[in-house]
Amino acid sequence: MLQLTHIEKTYTSGEVQLRALKDVNLDIRAGTMVALCGPSGSGKSTLLNICGLLDHDYSGEVCFAGEVLRKSHRQSMKIRRTQLGFVFQKFNLVPVMTAFENVAFPLLLNGMKEGEVRRRVMGMLDHVGLSQFSNYRPDRLSGGQQQRVAIARALVHQPKLVIADEPTASLDSVTAKQIIELMKNLGMEQKTAFIVASHDDRMTRHCDRVVELKDGVILQESALCIA
């Protein structure tokens, strides 16, 4: 569903050049959960930004749903809005919006009618166990609750692929475990593929594949059995 071929990424600041990704090849199949591991600075976020069509400044080829991307912002924006979802370490909810409004946002962007938006958002909030908090702003929610809202937002428009950058890194271990299980279960229900950067063993255990990055190079790939 998402294929990266011979991806190279170099950051330039002044005279200094840093090769952040070196000949990265990756194939994420529909409905699978892929963990991206590796030490800090190994290039995980750089790779996720390319997978999420947020960064076009690379060489190599990105193919989404059988189509080679033209690095056009217009095309990327449309794919992001309709087919991708994002979860970040710091939740990244809009602080002035309620939980309901944060989750509704992707649907409104896609032009869905109000009644259908309400039905879908309340269904999703119920799924993540937060229906009674729909009118709360993020600052009144715990970290785990905020991440649940973020997961609801990432999945509400039934994207083909969710990109998660260290989604449990800001959470305590009990909450992290719940968040991992929630992502796994929702992903399986909706047949969504995930690529998740994580140091968390519990996360990688739930994944179908583990891809390890070091200094911008993919080291090894292990196919795990799904428990």
Give the DSSP H/E element, type plus range, for residue 221: strand 217-223
Kindly tell me which residue out of 4, 7, 20, 141 binds ligand ADP, with binding defined by CB under 6 A.
20
CB 40 within 8 A of CB 89: no
Name the minimum Å distance from CB 47 to Mg ion. 9
Residues found near Mg ion in the complex (CB under 5 A): 44-45
- Based on the number of CB atoms within 10 Å of its own CB, is 69 exposed (0-12), middle (13-18) or buried (19 or more)? middle
Residues 103, 149 contacting (CB under 8 angstroms): yes
Q: Would you count residue 220 as binding ligand ADP (CB under 6 A)? A: no
Q: Which of 32, 33, 34, 44 binds ligand ADP (CB under 6 A)?
A: 44
Residue 156 beta carbon to ligand ADP: minimum distance, rounded to whole angstroms: 26
Residue of the chain from 24, 35, 42, 128 that contacts ligand ADP (CB under 6 A): 42
CA distance 94 to 16: 35
The entry of ligand ADP, Mg ion, none that residue 43 binds, CB within 5 to 8 Å by partner kind = ligand ADP
> How far does Cα 76 stand from its chain's mean position?
15
The residues that touch ligand ADP, with contacts defined as CB under 6 A, are 11, 13, 18, 20, 38, 40-46
